[in-house]
Amino acid sequence: MGACLGSFFGVISNRLAKDGVIVLNDRSHCQNCCKNILPQDLIPILSYIFLRGKCRFCGSKIHVKHLIFEIVGFGLGMGTFAFFNTNIYFVIILFTGVFTLYLNALTDIEE
């Protein structure tokens, strides 16, 4: 869950920095060839490793920052759950707060 949110927030911060708006109805696509990324290529961390950091269609390099965003998201999710797993409601609230701060940090990094 954390890696998925890390990936999603990485895309949001990238789109905010690039276009100034968040477009949620636009599918993920290669920045070079503009082809839509296949569903099996949207699995956080594993897809980057299996595709060797390149687009399936044109072979252009995918920036390593996307992998880093996913790994950090995974770590934040696991850390939040591991240290504060006493009450599920508290974990959900804390998880939401942690990932809100993470999105803010990613947006600042992209700008």
pLDDT (tens digit per residue) in 62-76:
989 889 888 988 988
pTM of the full structure: 0.78
Which pLDDT does position 48 carry in this prediction? 92
The parts of the chain modelled with pLDDT lower than 50 are none
pLDDT for 50 equals 94
DSSP string, the chain: -HHHHHHHHHHHHHHHHHHSS--SSSPPB-TTT-PBPPGGG-STTHHHHHTTTB-TTT-PBPPHHHHHHHHHHHHHHHHHHHHSTT-HHHHHHHHHHHHHHHHHHHHHHH-
Q: Would you tell me how many other CB atoms lie within 10 Å of the CB of residue 13?
A: 23
User: Given this model, what pLDDT does residue 21 score?
Assistant: 67
Backbone φ, ψ for residue 34 (5° rounding): 65, 15
pLDDT of residue 23: 67
